[in-house]
Structure 1
Amino acid sequence: MHLIGELDLTTCDLLVTALSQAARPDRDLVIDCTRLDFIDAAGIAGLVRAARMIGHGQLRLTNMHAALAEIIDLLDLPATVPNLRHDST
């Protein structure tokens, strides 16, 4: 899956709908964030929800811009959502 543009209150429902179709319990899900420019609290909540949907599978956010990865780290999401991982560019 690829995220493009902004993941915010106005687009989060689209993400949740797409993830509910793509996510499978206990299977990894990779989301390419190369073209993701912005994320707000609603977007973060959508990603957390996706991580919970896949249970023991890993939600991997790849190619995150450093500023977006910093938000994930500041919120300490990998500690509170153990199956969420990211890398930054």
Structure 2
Amino acid sequence: MHLIGELDRTTCDLLAAAIGQAALPGRDLIIDCTRLDFIDAAGITGLVRAAQMIGPGQLRLTNMPAGLAEIIDLLDLPATVPNLRRDST
């Protein structure tokens, strides 16, 4: 899956719908963030909810802009959302 543009309170429902169609519980889901231009607190919440939707599978975020990677690290999301993983690529 690829995120393009902005992930904020106006687009989180679109993310949830796409995750609902693409993800299978227990299976890993990779989200490429190469073209993600902006994310706000609602967008971060949307990613956490997406991780919860796939249950024991991993939500892997790849090609993250530096700002998003920094936010994820500052919030220590992998510690609180064990199946959310920030790939270093």
Q: TM-score, normalised by structure 2?
A: 0.95
Match of 1:74 in 2: 74
What is the deviation of 1:51?
A: 0.5
How many residues in Structure 1 have an aligned counterpart in Structure 2?
89
Match of 2:23 in 1: 23
1:85 matched to 2:46? The reply is: no
Separation in structure 2 between the aligned mates of residue 28 and residue 87 of structure 1, nearest angstrom: 13
Q: TM-score, normalised by structure 1?
A: 0.95
- Percent identity among equivalent residues? 84
What is the deviation of 1:87?
A: 2.7
Runs of 4+ in 1 over 2 A off after TM superposition: none
Which structure shows the higher strand fraction? 1
Segments of 5+ residues of structure 1 without an aligned counterpart are none
Q: State the one-letter code of the partner of 1:33.
A: C
Q: Over the residues paired in the alignment, what is the CA RMSD in angstroms?
A: 1.0
Q: 1:23-77 CA deviation, whole Å, 9 max, x = no partner?
A: 1110000000000011111111111111011111010000001111101111110
Q: State the one-letter code of the partner of 1:58.
A: Q
